[in-house]
Structure 1
């Protein structure tokens, strides 16, 4: 699945209305088709088919329709309460996790579909009053009864699923799994360091300015390579996926591969085409933004450390998932990518985060807000230790930089003697992991 289709699928998944709408449309078709089948069969006798009269059929269908709209209202109310809880108690960035939940969407689709189906079939029931020939669609009423039973079971399953979903452990695990799936899809393309990427920009390169504001959510890589090749250009997009961009501000450079210059019209046309291949959105998405999962986990940790909530245990759990995710990311290709044309010539340089950036997201804010809590700081030292041990080579610089920062925070924090001694020991264990040693007396929090 290419990036564009991934973005479309993500947009489909993160809205509550598509699947319920499909359920309503399917019920509309079924509600029109089954009565016609009843007319053709002509009231086949079977213990499994509804055998009552028109009044009984109308009673059943009316009961199904009225109960379904009530249950649907309850389900919507519970969903909204869950969204409010996730937003206020944990992080607004977690709302995407709930809105893309297929159980919630499927349950709403079943309830609304059953309601729509009952209404459509109800209009086909005829009595012998007014000169109309009586007609009771037995199969259609039986299907309505089956859908009602399925809706009852779905309600029970929905409530069980909801109680499990709103647990913080389930939310953290869901974020971690989504981020891990994105990390596992990263390919081992040409990768360079950010410094090497910026060193490629020659004197006289033309700035590319954003045409719209928002978060950078998508880059049409193939089209961008084609545009650069057709213009004999090299394009460098400096902003990472998920970065906030503002219309009119620089997001990269373009320059001629042969060192020449374009006319003003050619340059303007190239920049316009480059901007057309960049998509911004009102929120970050998980299609290519490898840092989104860490941002969500960090938000949960920071929210838990706020004075109004004061839940350091949740912060420690979130940091545990951040550590596991960082260890996974340290094993996959990171950093700016080089995209080449059919002749293997470099045409596009796409900036992507490096481990230093991701480690800063996971560590800096929790350290700032949790520097006075020994348990939180111990878990941050453990995070650095685990990341240093997992990779062992490419993490030395980033881990050492964050370790020095945590040591400064501990030195300035108002801690008692025992807590300070514990944290100093935790910091020393990070040094040991960087040197390839793991103390057997290491503690886990």
Structure 2
């Protein structure tokens, strides 16, 4: 209500945030958390078996973990802050008020994590022999702080879908330790392991020619996967049972797949992971290249699916039962509908609907209430009005807008008076006609 809006018409606002966040998740989970755990595991294995080549491979891996974490990881992390503050300021503002001290603590943990990573990498060749134990302890601390970063951020992310008692108590602790916190954190932990195994497996098959070294690495990975696969299933199911019923009903819808396709793809993906785990344990010297790439694709798919589902099933809210996806507080919706939305929108250039201001009023209502998820045109046909409402008349669209949250419960209700609803329908149909090459009905008023 108190912020200006910006539109990325080609991709859509939600997609811009989603792309940056997805890249960051791949790096933060697959490299910073999972990659660090695998790196230290390989060093530990090398130390126990006195395998110099495995130790050298783990050292090389630590170099890339350091580079990727402190460059692409840090940049995309800041990118999430930038995109969310620009596109959904009401959401990020609310989260900052709730979780200020959690985010403050996370930055301290992150700085400690980077410091330990630098110490771990630059002392690798210096701390040998008896000092190797000290180096390994630094590695264990690094793994712990990497995971602790996720443990803090997960409290914030999980609260957006399941704020629990926070909506009643406004207690930080109720918000942070919300109903899906534990299953979400544990699921993310093993997603990180899965990503790291899939990433590093490709490196091993493409760059490591020593069959004995491949055997050592895949042997370690096979053991990790034996733990990871059932853990993903257990904590994934636990997570689904903890989310709101309406959100649960939207899981398959949120992926854009038919139920049969959704089930088939996920079963095949799980089967590939099981095959990889068994192969890595039984025949670590002969893990096929094609299997490694399929596992990589499956792991990326599972992460993408989880993030897509987690974001989409919150609808119609961005913070469940508190803030609608378009930034309107749920507690204010009825009041604003009675008083008029335009009067309560800080950046509105008109405060009432007349024949002269109808188009401009509709534009403001579109930006305030539709833009978070939709665009007039663009490549995402499911979200673009030029495809969704092409050929609709103003009256039909106005009638639909009144009841859309009933027929489509994942959409926030329209907030505003009848005149404002008609103005929104007028603007959308005018812009759709223009986008589709027809004469814009609101052209004279632009």
Into which bin does the TM-score normalised by the smaller protein fall? under 0.3
Q: Which has the higher strand share?
A: 1
**Larger-Rg structure:** 1
Q: Which has the higher helix share?
A: 2
